[in-house]
Amino acid sequence: MYLQLLGGQAAVVADNAARAAELGAPGIDLNFGCPAKTVNRSDGGAIILRDPQRVHDIVAAARAAVPAQTPLTVKTRLGYEDSERFLDIAAGIEEAGATELTIHARTKQQGYRPPAYWELIAEARARVSLPIIANGEIWSVQDALRCRNITGCDALMLGRGALCRPDLARLIAAACGVGAARQPLHWRDVTPLLSRFFALNLARYDTQHAGNPLKQWLVYLRGYYPQAGLLFEQIKRLREPAAIQAVLEESLSSAPAGRFAA
């Protein structure tokens, strides 16, 4: 798994990238796409896109700090307020020596509001030669195929779509001729994943907060599986892990096969 870094000071990012490589990170990913206000106020994420030269300098410093064989990947948005300097940003990232570039096809100001402007990714592909991965507003196999057609990208990055549909990546791969065709997951296939996820969080969070990631995931899942909405209503006010686990076990034993098509 690659280690992702963000920050606005080139020397600091480079030092952390070098240390990560020393500790065995198989690759370093630099995040210039995060729109979170807390991150941007701390001079990290998408706010750096206001100055393409800063983006270049941070990527170049990190590239120089890690071994040549260590991949250095970058994720960006189209810009901060607007996309006027997007192609300059992409060109600077290539010039700085990045291995590949993932583009979320919206600006920071556009946040996560649809649509995603995939056509601008196609413009970047015409400008730079490094591999580009398309990201943004891919919720279904049909979205993925349309994104590939518009952008010309063979590779896609999934975000919230994969939270709504845990099998989305393999369904897309099959539709693109990679791997065997499979039926979409039913709700009864998803409920064991929820139980496992909750068990993992019990080891990572304080007892009273262990259920929060599960609740967040259910909010996404309910966009495709109506049963997730019912389960969320059952556990949303619960804090004790034993009470949440009891509800999950009941859901596991009674999970129907029904699902909604996206």
Q: What does each C-alpha distance from 74 to 27, 45, 107, 124, 155 come to in angstroms?
A: 11, 11, 16, 14, 14
Determine whether 153 is an active site residue. no
Kindly write down the DSSP assignment for every residue of 201-262, as one continuous string: HHTTS-GGGTTHHHHHHHHHHTTT-HHHHHHHHHHTT---HHHHHHHHHHHHHH--------
User: Using CA atoms, how far apart are residues 49 and 40, in angstroms rounded to an integer?
Assistant: 11
User: Using CA atoms, how far apart are residues 113 and 107, in angstroms rounded to an integer?
Assistant: 10
Q: Which of 34, 147, 153, 164 is catalytic?
A: 34
Q: Residue 86 is inside which H or E element, if any?
A: helix 86-95
User: Using CA atoms, how far apart are residues 50 and 81, in angstroms rounded to an integer?
Assistant: 8
Residues belonging to the active site: 34
